[in-house]
Structure 1
């Protein structure tokens, strides 16, 4: 299951120095999404992640939650077997089944690994096009297809579903060169939630017996 959480981070970090480019309708929709997300101070989301790879005969599903502070590298992702926490300086990866916590320094560069950037992944490094209208779980959405500017990247395509009126991302389908298809469905999204800063740190006292591996 570690690769599933890792992919969430990789997706959010899939940025390059090239600006996004594409057709006018897609550009207008994405600009509205960006404006909305960047107006938040904090966000919380519940999501479902499905992984399928027919060649490897893999089919997995997990539910998770994300809490993130806007315009920062502070976040917490909780999934079935793992937690990923960052206070902007240190990053903790808690592997529940292994009873282990790995600590690393946070990369605060433009290409930093930040799961919250899943909601603004399209802003850099992609070409985009409007793919039509559809429904996702009964919600009316615009479909926008993203393809990487750099063809050497592992990801080959991302299909975003944007709610037509709320202008938020309700689903992202990610394809990679290995034949894997990752579907992230946002089950609920709550902007400007009230959380304490302690959410973004790992308190070892609450996890007795956990082995701490400091890789800084």
Structure 2
């Protein structure tokens, strides 16, 4: 008969093992991260869907992004975002207005820092290879911080090209954000000007500086 202290020790050991990173997931993530971060940029075309389970609503739109280190340019149907590593410009074509801000550098969400998705798994997350499919891997990332605003991040990574196929953020408030990648390129060499708003190109636009 196993005594109670021994049972407690075995249970604690079991919990400790389950909390460790999955070596198979880490290997895929390391290769995925290395390939993306060594490239001059990552260019993506995607479909972005936001589902609110509480309100019973959903919204879907198409967009594109160019990521280079922490810099990016994201184009959505009603919004264009530029970030040069220091300042962010958010342009609304319908009202011809651009707002300049300094983003929170600690915000690692996809919309705030898209490139973080290639390295976010390295700290503050536990990883698990959920499924190995014919052409891709499905990997879940679980935040170690119990006060995190999201439950998990799910990545779908292609086997052949180690490319991002899909991304899903599941939040505690019932909102799930799903990004399906329809185009992925690591060869494009962007110019620095592509990551900043050009007043000369968008003449007559109202500029609101919130820095």
* Same-fold status (TM-score > 0.5): yes
Give 1:115's aligned residue.
114
Mapping for residues 46-125 of structure 1, pairs under 5 Å: 46-70=45-69, 73-105=70-102, 113-125=112-124
Identify the structure with the greater strand proportion: 1
The alignment's C-alpha RMSD in Å is 2.2
Structure 1 residues 180 and 110: alpha-carbon distance in aligned structure 2, compared to 1, 3 A threshold: closer
SS in 2 for 1:77: strand
- Is residue 2:194 matched to residue 1:199? yes
Query: CA offset at residue 126 of structure 1?
Result: 0.9
Deviations 1:174-199, CA, capped at 9 Å, x for gaps: 10011111111111111130322211
Name which one, 1 or 2, has greater alpha-carbon Rg: 2
Aligned pairs, how many? 191
Deviates more, 1:109-118 or 1:48-57: 109-118
SS in 2 for 1:32: helix
Query: CA offset at residue 210 of structure 1?
Result: 1.9
Give 2:141's aligned residue.
146
TM-score normalized by the length of structure 1: 0.80
- Is residue 2:171 matched to residue 1:171? no
TM-score normalized by the length of structure 2: 0.82
Preserved contact between residue 164 and residue 184 of structure 2 (Cα < 8 Å): no
Query: CA offset at residue 215 of structure 1?
Result: 0.9
Runs of 5+ unmatched residues, structure 2: 1-18
Runs of 5+ unmatched residues, structure 1: 1-19
